[in-house]
Amino acid sequence: MTDPMTRAGFVALIGEPNAGKSTLLNHVVGAKVSIVTHKVQTTRARIRGIAQEGTSQLVFVDTPGLFRPKRRLDRAMVAAAWTGAADADVIVLLIEATRGLTEGVEAILSALEERETAQPVLLAINKIDRVQADSLLAMTQKMNERYPFAATFMISAEKGHGVDALRADLAARVPEGPWLYPEDQIADAPLRDIAAEITREKLTLRLHQELPYQLTVETEKWEDRPDGSARIDQVIYVVRDGHKGIVLGKKGETTKAVGQAARAELEAFLGHRVHLFLQVKVRPGWLDEAERFDAIGLDFKDGNE
């Protein structure tokens, strides 16, 4: 008896900001590997989540939402999204059922056509539980008349409806070949980066308006202790003194609450006790520093005009 044929490949999730890409990725993988908030433009680096489906290994590239870039960071994020799509074996365009063929989605489809994308492009219509069935069918027809999708799936990334069918289809499409990662690995991002993303998520949830997009979190030190716990030191970089006060909060209450929430999630993720220490530092030009871009997995050169 021969061993079953294995498959492995990269799947790029693309779409407008806040379409549910990170939620879908985390559901498929079965663990949180990408930041999820109600705010747009929260995913910066291409975080790969890894899932097994039968004899296939699916390596998901969670790209930043595609939008009209204004700042260097924005331009680098959009460039990262298209790089992730170009490198993938299969592309999944995720749209919101409540929004349909928006101007942003139209721009993405035009870009796919201009790039003469060779990979199969699947359509996943998300948040189907929020619209009526007749409007959903009309939207599906309109989208498929607009672009020759290889397949269409109606899903709820949050509740998991339709996700298994999408994953099974992807498993059959990725190329034959050996698995790219160990069976028990769920992401190829270093733990230091995942820890920083968890803290940044908690900050994004606590803060408002533009401030979350003008800060970054870096894990400065990680020490595994003899008792099985870990000490993690992180720095929150902001661009001006006024932002430091907002992040700290009155008597440090905001940073304390963020640290407690991040520590609890890190302990659940790692399976052992965590001692998390946060500092807030002002770096006025971090948005234009190549080393800061490198730290969050973006190419500084991609942010050029």
pTM: 0.64
Q: Which tokens sit at 224?
A: 């595994």
Residue 189 pLDDT more than 70?
Answer: no
* CATH class of segment(s) 7-173: alpha beta
Residue 268 or 170, more confident:
170
Closest of 173, 90, 108 to residue 146, by C-alpha: 108
Q: What is the spatial distance between Cα 210 and Cα 212, in angstroms, rounded to a whole number?
A: 6
**Domain boundaries defined on the chain:** 7-173, 191-303
- The amino acid present at 113, given as its one-letter code, is E
Residue 289 or 54, more confident:
54
Average pLDDT over residues 149-173: 95
Average pLDDT over residues 207-221: 74
Full 3-state SS string of the chain: CCCCCCEEEEEEEEECCCCCHHHHHHHHHCCCCCCCCCCCCCCCCCEEEEEEECCEEEEEEECCCCCCCCCHHHHHHHHHHHHHHHHCCEEEEEEECCCCCCHHHHHHHHHHHHCCCCCCEEEEEECHHHCCHHHHHHHHHHHHHHCCCCEEEECECCCCECHHHHHHHHHHHCCECCCCCCCCCCECCCHHHHHHHHHHHHHHHHCCCCHHHHEEEEEEEEEECCCCCEEEEEEEEECCHHHHHHHHCHHHHHHHHHHHHHHHHHHHHHCCCEEEEEEEEECCCHHHCHHHHHHCCCCHHHHCC
Angle at alpha carbon of residue 130, lines to 128 and 136, rounded to 5°: 50
Q: Residue 8: its pLDDT value, please?
A: 94
Q: Residue 173: its pLDDT value, please?
A: 96
Q: What is the spatial distance between Cα 118 and Cα 100, in angstroms, rounded to a whole number?
A: 24
* CATH class of segment(s) 191-303: alpha beta
Q: What is the spatial distance between Cα 46 and Cα 161, in angstroms, rounded to a whole number?
A: 25
Q: What is the spatial distance between Cα 161 and Cα 174, in angstroms, rounded to a whole number?
A: 22
Q: What is the spatial distance between Cα 170 and Cα 181, in angstroms, rounded to a whole number?
A: 17
Length reported for the chain: 305
Q: Residue 27: its pLDDT value, please?
A: 86
Residue 166 pLDDT more than 90?
Answer: yes
Residue 1 pLDDT more than 50?
Answer: no
pLDDT for 89-137, tens place per residue? 999 999 999 998 998 899 889 888 988 888 999 999 999 999 999 999 9
Residue 41 pLDDT more than 50?
Answer: no
